[in-house]
Amino acid sequence: MRSPKDFFRPLAVGAPEPLRQIPFRPSRMIHFFDPGNEKMAAKVPDMVGKADVLLGNLEDAIQADRKEAARDGLVRIAREVDFGDTQLWTRVNSLDSPWVLDDLLTLVTQIGDKLDVIMVPKVEGPEDIHYVDRLLAQLEARAGLARPLLVHAILETASGVANVEEIALASPRMQGISLGPADLAASRRMKTTRVGGGHPGYLVRTDPVGDSLAEGRTTYQQDLWHYTVARMVDACVAAGILPYYGPFGDIRDVVACEDQFRNAYLLGCVGAWSLHPKQIEIARRVFSPEASEVAWARRVIDAMGDGTGAVMLDGKMQDDATVKQCQVIVALADDLAA
Ligand code: GLV
Ligand code: MG
C-alpha cells in the first residue's frame, strides 16, 4: 500500500526538511456542513470550488437523535456530488461515543474512495490515533481502497495538549491538527462561555503614569490561544504535518474572526474552520499571502543570490534566515497558484 506521504509533494528546494512534506492541496478553510440538514445539504454542490475543504460534520452540533441521518446524508452527498478539486472531509464522533464505530464502518466501506481526511475529535494521546489507524487499515482492506485515508486530530483536551508532540507523530496517516478552543476551554476549566476568540477580561494594563494608580493607564486584550497555537504549530512542523486554528463562534463579529485567523496565520497555521460562508472569505484572504508580501519575499531571495552572506534592502538586513522565511511565503503563494 502506498504511504499517505506519497500524496505530499516537496516545497521549494531549500525549504526546511519537515516543510517538504506539506500536502500540496490548499486547505485554507475547512467549511463545516450538517449533512443531515436538507437545506444545507442542497447547498453543497454550490459550495464546491468556493471552499478548499468541505467537511460533513457528524459530531458536536448534531443532535443525538440525528446522528444516523447525518451519516446517511453524508453517504448520499458523497455519492451524488462531484467535488472536483475540493476536498471532502468528515468529522466523526469521539472515540468514547456510541456512534464512532458505525461512523467509520459506514463511511470507509461506502464512500472511502470519496473522502480525503477523517477528523477525529477529542484526541487525548497517540493511542487514540493508533486505534483509528488500525481500524482504518482493516476497513480499507475490506473496501478494497487503493488510497489510504488521512487523519486529522482536534486538539481540544488538556491531555491532548500535554501529548501533542506524540499525537502529531502517531501515524503516517496524520495530515494535521486543529485547535478546538471550545472543548479545550471546558477541559482546562477556563472560565469562558464562547467558541474561540479572546475575552474582555483577559488583558494586561500598562503601569500608571504619575502617583495616581488611575492615571494614564491603557489596557490591552490578550490572545487566550497564543500558547496552544504556538505549541501545536511546533509539534506539527516537527512531524511534517499541518496546523490549523479551529472555529470562531461569533459569526457576526467578522473583525475579531479575522484577527484570530490572522494571529494563527502569522504563528504558522495554514488554515481555519469556517462555520458560515462569511468566514470562508475571511479565511481565503487571511491564509493567502498578500501580493506585496510575496513580491517583497521574491526581492529578498533575488537580492541574496546564492543565499549566503548578508545584504541591505530598503535599510533592512537580509541573510540566510530571512531568505528561509521568504521561501516559506513564496512556496505558499506558488502552491496556492498551482
Ligand atoms: C471544536 O470542536 C471546539 O471544541 O472548539
Ligand atoms: Mg469540540
Centre of ligand 2 to C-alpha 94, Å, is 9
| CA of 247 relative to ligand 1 center, distance in Å | 7
> pTM, whole model, 2 decimals?
0.92
Helix H, strand E, coil C: the string for the chain is CCCHHHHECCCCCCCCHHHHHCECCCCCEEEEECCCCHHHHHHHHHHECCECEEEEECCCCCCHHHHHHHHHHHHHHHHHCCCCCCEEEEECCCCCCCCHHHHHHHHHHHHCCCCCEEEECCCCCHHHHHHHHHHHHHHHHHHCCCCCCEEEEEECCHHHHHCHHHHHCCCCCEEEEEECHHHHHHHCCCCCCCCCCCCCCCEEECCCCCCCCCCCCCEEECCCCHHHHHHHHHHHHHHCCEEEECCCCCCCCHHHHHHHHHHHHHHCCCEEEECCHHHHHHHHHHCCCCHHHHHHHHHHHHHCCCCCCCEEECCEEECHHHHHHHHHHHHHHHHHHC
Residues 23-47: tens digit of each pLDDT: 558 899 999 999 999 999 999 999 9
From residue 108, alpha-carbon distances to 4, 135, 140, 175, 284 in Å are 16, 10, 7, 17, 30
pLDDT of residue 261: 98
Query: Quick check: CB of 154 below 6 Å from ligand 1?
Result: yes
pLDDT at 168 over 80: yes
pLDDT one-digit tens code per residue, 289-314? 999 999 999 999 999 999 899 999 99
pLDDT in tens, 178-229: 999 999 999 999 999 999 999 999 999 999 888 888 888 999 999 999 999 9
Grid coordinates representing 42 are 442542497
229-286 pLDDT, tens per residue?
A: 999 999 999 999 999 999 999 999 999 999 999 999 999 999 999 999 999 999 999 9
Record the cell numbers describing residue 275, joined without a space: 462555520
- pLDDT, tens digit (0-9, with 9 covering 90-100), for 36-82: 999 999 999 999 999 999 999 999 999 999 999 999 999 999 999 99
What residues contact residue 294 under an 8 Å CB cut-off, 6+ apart? 329, 330, 333
In the reported structure, the alpha carbon of residue 91 is separated from the centroid of ligand 2 by a whole-number distance in angstroms of 10
User: Which ligand neighbours the alpha carbon of 182 most closely?
Assistant: 1
pLDDT tens digits for 226-245?
A: 999 999 999 999 999 999 99
Cβ 224 under 6 angstroms from ligand 1: no
Instruction: Determine if ligand 1 sits within 6 Å of the CB of residue 183.
Output: yes
In this structure, which residue's CA is closest to atom 2 in ligand 1?
180
What is the average pLDDT value for the chain, to the nearest integer? Answer: 92
AA letter at 161: V
- Please report the pLDDT score of residue 16 as a whole number: 42
Q: Is 180 in the pocket of ligand 1 (CB under 6 A)?
A: yes
> In degrees, to the nearest 5, what angle opens at C-alpha 136 toward C-alphas 130 and 121?
60
Residue 216's pLDDT is 86
- pLDDT at site 169: 96
pLDDT greater than 50 at residue 11: no
Closest CA to 77 of 85, 88, 66: 88
The ipTM assigned to this model is 0.99
Q: How far is CA 193 from CA 200, 250, 264, 332, in A?
A: 12, 12, 21, 35
For residue 19, the model assigns a pLDDT of 40
Is the CB of 160 inside a 6 Å radius of any atom of ligand 1? no
Asked whether 156 lines ligand 1 (CB < 6 A), one says yes
